[in-house]
C-alpha cells in the first residue's frame, strides 16, 4: 500500500516529521497561503464507497519479568521510551490495531499511582519512581493513539508479588500494608491476595477504576491468573483455611471450591458495570485459560481451570459480563486432544450473548516457516468462523520485534496486507458519529489539500479516507484521529472522508469532488 501524504495537526508536526517522514511531500500547510475552493457534500444516494475490513489485530506487551517491555529494569527513561515507540511503530507497520499493555503485573504500577508502588520492572526497585519522572502508561497511550492504535490496560487482579521482583518488597506494597489480605506461596517469592476477602476485591477494584477515571484507555484486560497455578505453591492447595473457617462459622454453606469461584464471579460481574458507568466506551475483556473443563468438547484433556484456577470462564461468556473474550488457545489445529479449531468452535457455541470472540494465539516458534503457516491458518480459521467479528491477539510482542520473524511476514503479506478497523460493539453503542466537515484548499504552490475535522460533540478516534481515480473509488485508508489534512495527488477526482468513534461506529461519507 502506498504511503499516505498527510499534513499533521500543527501541535504534533514535529513528532510526525520525525516519526513519519514518508508522509510529507514538502507542503507546509500554511493557512495564510491557502485559499478555500470547495466543500464536502454527502455522498450520492446508492454510491458505493469501500470500507476497510473489520478485524481485531493485537499483541500482548508483558512487563512482568521484563518479558516484552522494558527489556531490562535498569534501562534509562530515554531507552524505555525508545523501546515503546519501536514496539508501536512495529505494530503499525504490521497493520495491527491494538496493544494489550500490562500496567499491573503484580500489586504495583507502571503509572503514577496513589494506591500502589512503582513497579520493580521499571527501575529495578519497587517503589522507586523513574528518573527523570514520567508516566509510562500516559506515554504509551499518547503514542498508541497517535498511530490509531487502541490501548487496553492489562491488570493482574490478585497477584501481590512475583518471584521476578528480585529486590525488596516496598513498604507501600499490600504485602506490607495489609498482610491479612495476602498469603505466601512457597519459598520463591510469590504472594497472592485472598480473593474471598472483601477488601481484596475492593483494593483491586479501586486500582482499576483509578486508571479508568484518570487515563484515556480503550479497554480493561485480565489474563488467566485468578487463583494461582499449582506450580506457584508446589502443587499444594491455596492456603485460605482461616478465611474459609470464618466463612463457615458465620453460616456460609458453599463448599470451598464454589466459595472461591463465587468470589471471582462476583468480582467479574460487578466490575464491568462500574467501568461503563465511569466511561462507557472502555471495554472489558478477559483472556482465560483455553480449556474450560476437560471433556468440553468431549475429547479435550488438560488442566481444569474451573477447579484449579477457580475461574468459571464459561459463565462469564454465557452471561455477557465481558465485551470481548480471548481464550488462550495455544495449541495447533491438528492437536489430538487440544485442537485449536475444536476448542474455538466450542467457545463460539458458548457465546450466547454474541460478544467478541478473539482467541489468544501463541507465536513462540512461528519464526520457522512451518509454524508460521500454522499461525496463518489459525488466523484464517478464526476469520472464517467469526466473519462478523474476527480477530486475534498474539503472545507476545518480543517475537514480532524480529524483522525476520516468518509469522509476522506471512501475515503482513497475506491476511493482514490491508489495514483493518476493529469490529464495533453494538451492545454498548451503535450510533454512528456525525459526518466530518471537509473542505478543499489550494496553496501558492497549487497543491490541493482536503482539510477535515469532527462535527458534533462525539470524540473521533480515526478517519477513513477513500480516493476516487478513473471514476472508481479506491480501497479505504484508516487515518489516526490526530490528522486533519490530506494532500490530493495528481489524478485524484474526489476524496471521501468518514469519522470513526471510540467504539468503531462509522459515519456517513462526505465527498469532495475535484476538478483540475
**Gap between the Cα atoms of 327 and 393, Å rounded:** 10
166 and 206 assigned to the same domain = yes
Provide the pLDDT confidence category of residue 27 given band limits of 50, 70 and 90. very low
CA distance 439 to 455: 13
What is the reported pLDDT for 15? Answer: 27
- Do 119 and 40 lie in one domain? The reply is no
- Grid coordinates representing 437 are 466537515
Q: What gap in Å lies between CA 405 and CA 304, rounded to an integer? A: 33
pLDDT of residue 12: 30
469 pLDDT higher than 50: yes
- Residue 5 grid coordinates: 501524504
Is 210 inside a domain boundary?
yes
Q: How many CB atoms lie within 10 A of CB 204?
A: 23
In angstroms, the CA 169 to CA 136 distance is 21
Q: Are 296 and 348 within one domain?
A: yes
Q: Residue 190: is its pLDDT beyond 70?
A: yes
Lowest mean per-residue pLDDT among 30-44, 197-211, 234-248, 391-405: 30-44
In the predicted structure, residue 69 carries a pLDDT above the cut 50 = yes
Which residues, 6+ apart, have CB-to-CB distance to 466 below 8 Å?
Answer: 49, 50, 473, 474, 475, 476, 477, 495, 496, 509
pLDDT at 494 over 80: yes
DSSP assignment string, 480-502: ETTEEEEEE-TT--EEEEEEE-T
Taking Cα atoms as reference points, which of 271, 279, 352 lies closest to residue 503? 279
36 — pLDDT class (breaks 50, 70, 90): confident
What average pLDDT is seen over the chain?
93
* Res 445: pLDDT: 73
| Same domain, yes or no: 436 and 481 | yes
Look at phi and psi of residue 411 and say left if phi exceeds 0, alpha if psi is from -120 to 50, else beta. alpha
Q: What is the pLDDT of residue 20?
A: 33
Residue 449 has pLDDT above 60, yes or no: yes
Q: Check residue 30 and give its pLDDT.
A: 46
Does one domain contain both 39 and 123?
no
Are 454 and 332 contained in the same domain?
no
Helices (H), 94-216: 120-123, 136-146, 174-177, 198-214
The average pLDDT across 203-213 equals 98
Query: Is residue 421 situated within a structural domain?
Result: no
Only one residue has cell 508536526, namely 13
pLDDT band at 46 (very low <50, low <70, confident <90, very high): confident
Residue 103 located in a structural domain = yes
* 425 within 8 A of 356, measured Cβ to Cβ: yes
Which of the listed residues 361, 381, 411 is the one where a domain comes to its end?
361
Kindly state whether residue 405 falls inside one of the protein's structural domains: no
Q: What is the Cα–Cα distance from 462 to 480, expressed in whole angstroms?
A: 5
Tell me what the mean pLDDT of segment 90-110 comes to.
98
* 325, 346, 361 - which closes a domain: 361
The model's pLDDT over 356-371, given as tens digits with 9 standing for 90+, comes to 999 999 999 999 999 9
Residues 68, 71, 74, 76, CA torsion sign: negative
Statement to judge: residues 27 and 113 lie in one domain: no
pLDDT at 516 (0 to 100): 64
Q: Please provide residue 260's backbone torsions phi and psi, each rounded to the nearest 5 degrees.
A: -65, -45
The residue assigned the cell 518471584 is 163
Among 116, 127, 115, 119, residue whose Cα is nearest residue 102: 119
Overall residue count recorded for the chain in this entry: 516
Mean pLDDT computed over 68-92: 98
Q: Is residue 506 part of a domain?
A: yes
CA distance 9 to 145: 14
> If pLDDT is split at 50, 70 and 90, which confidence band does 13 have?
very low
Domain encompassing residue 180: 61-361
Residues 21 and 71 in one domain: no
- Residue 330 neighbours by CB under 8 Å, 6+ apart: 290, 360, 361, 362, 395
The grid coordinates of residue 144 equal: 498508541
Please check whether residue 380 lies inside any domain of the structure: no
Bridge-partner residues for 87, per DSSP?
none
**At residue 406, does pLDDT exceed 70?**
yes
pLDDT over 90 for what percent of the chain?
A: 88
**Residue 2 confidence (pLDDT) above 90:** no
Does a structural domain hold residue 269? yes
Provide φ and ψ at 148, rounded to 5°: 70, 25
How many domains does the chain contain in total?
Answer: 2
Domain harbouring 44, CATH code: 2.60.40.10
pLDDT at 18: 27
Q: Which of 330, 361, 392 is the last residue of a domain?
A: 361
- Do residues 85 and 177 share a domain? yes
Q: What is the DSSP string of 382-399?
A: HHHH-TTS-EEEEE-HHH
Q: Tell me whether residue 410 is in a domain.
A: no
Whether the per-residue pLDDT at 503 is higher than 80: the answer is yes
Shared domain check, 125 and 236: yes
pLDDT at 4 over 70: no
Q: For residues 40 and 76, state if they share a domain.
A: no
* Count of other CB atoms within 10 angstroms of residue 480: 19
Same-domain status, 176 and 148: yes
Amino acid at each position: 500500500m502506498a504511503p499516505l501524504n498527510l499534513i499533521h495537526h500543527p501541535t504534533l508536526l514535529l513528532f510526525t516529521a520525525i516519526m513519519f517522514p514518508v508522509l510529507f511531500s514538502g507542503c507546509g500547510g500554511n493557512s495564510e497561503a491557502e485559499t478555500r475552493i470547495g466543500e464536502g457534500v454527502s455522498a450520492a444516494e446508492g454510491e458505493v464507497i469501500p470500507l476497510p475490513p473489520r478485524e481485531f489485530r493485537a499483541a500482548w506487551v508483558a512487563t512482568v519479568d521484563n518479558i516484552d517491555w522494558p527489556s531490562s529494569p535498569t534501562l534509562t527513561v530515554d531507552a524505555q521510551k525508545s523501546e515503546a515507540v519501536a514496539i508501536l511503530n512495529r505494530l503499525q507497520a504490521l497493520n495491527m490495531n491494538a496493544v494489550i499493555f500490562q500496567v499491573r503485573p503484580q500489586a504495583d504500577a507502571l503509572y503514577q499511582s496513589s494506591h500502589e508502588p512503582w513497579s520493580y520492572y521499571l527501575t529495578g526497585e519497587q517503589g522507586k519512581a523513574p528518573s527523570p519522572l514520567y508516566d509510562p502508561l500516559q506515554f504509551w497511550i499518547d503514542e498508541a493513539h497517535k498511530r490509531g492504535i487502541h490501548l487496553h490496560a492489562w491488570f493482574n487482579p490478585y497477584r501481590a508479588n512475583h518471584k521476578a521482583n528480585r529486590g525488596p518488597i516496598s513498604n507501600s506494597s499490600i504485602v506490607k500494608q495489609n498482610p491479612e489480605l495476602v498469603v505466601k506461596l512457597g519459598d520463591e517469592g510469590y504472594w497472592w491476595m485472598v480473593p474471598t476477602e472483601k477488601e481484596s476485591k475492593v483494593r483491586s477494584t479501586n486500582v482499576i477504576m483509578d486508571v479508568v477515571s484518570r487515563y484515556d484507555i480503550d479497554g480493561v484486560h485480565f489474563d488467566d491468573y485468578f487463583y494461582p497455578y499449582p506450580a506457584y505453591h508446589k502443587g499444594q492447595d491455596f492456603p485460605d483455611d482461616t478465611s474459609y473457617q470464618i466463612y463457615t462459622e458465620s453460616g456460609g454453606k458453599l463448599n470451598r471450591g464454589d466459595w472461591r469461584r463465587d468470589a471471582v464471579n462476583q468480582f467479574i460481574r460487578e466490575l464491568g458495570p462500574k467501568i461503563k458507568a465511569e466511561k462507557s466506551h472502555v471495554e472489558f475483556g478477559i483472556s482465560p485459560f483455553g480449556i474450560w473443563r476437560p471433556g468440553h468438547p468431549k475429547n479435550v484433556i488438560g488442566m481444569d481451570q474451573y477447579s484449579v484456577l477457580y475461574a468459571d470462564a464459561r459463565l462469564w461468556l454465557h452471561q455477557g459480563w465481558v465485551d470481548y473474550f480471548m481464550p488462550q488457545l495455544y495449541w495447533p489445529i491438528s492437536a489430538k486432544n487440544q485442537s485449536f479449531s475444536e476448542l474455538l468452535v466450542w467457545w463460539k457455541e458458548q457465546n450466547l450473548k454474541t460478544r467478541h470472540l478473539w482467541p489468544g494465539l501463541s507465536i513462540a516458534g512461528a519464526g520457522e516457516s512451518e509454524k508460521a503457516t500454522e499461525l496463518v491458518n489459525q488466523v484464517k480459521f478464526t476469520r472464517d468462523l467469526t466473519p462478523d467479528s474476527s480477530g486475534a491477539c498474539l503472545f507476545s510482542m518480543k517475537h514480532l520485534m524480529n524483522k525476520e520473524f516468518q509469522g509476522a511476514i506471512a501475515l503482513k503479506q497475506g491476511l493482514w496486507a490491508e489495514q483493518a478497523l476493529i469490529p464495533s460493539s453494538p451492545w454498548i453503542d451503535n450510533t454512528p458519529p456525525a459526518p466530518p466537515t471537509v473542505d478543499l484548499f489550494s496553496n501558492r504552490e497549487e497543491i490541493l489539500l482536503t482539510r477535515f475535522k469532527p462535527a458534533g460533540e462525539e470524540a473521533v478516534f480515526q478517519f477513513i479516507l477513500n480516493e476516487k481515480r478513473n471514476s472508481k473509488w479506491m480501497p479505504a485508508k484508516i487515518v489516526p484521529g490526530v490528522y486533519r489534512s490530506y494532500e490530493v495527488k495528481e489524478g485524484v477526482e474526489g476524496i471521501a472522508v468518514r469519522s470513526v468513534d471510540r467504539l468503531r461506529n462509522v459515519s456517513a461519507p462526505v465527498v469532495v469532488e475535484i476538478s483540475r
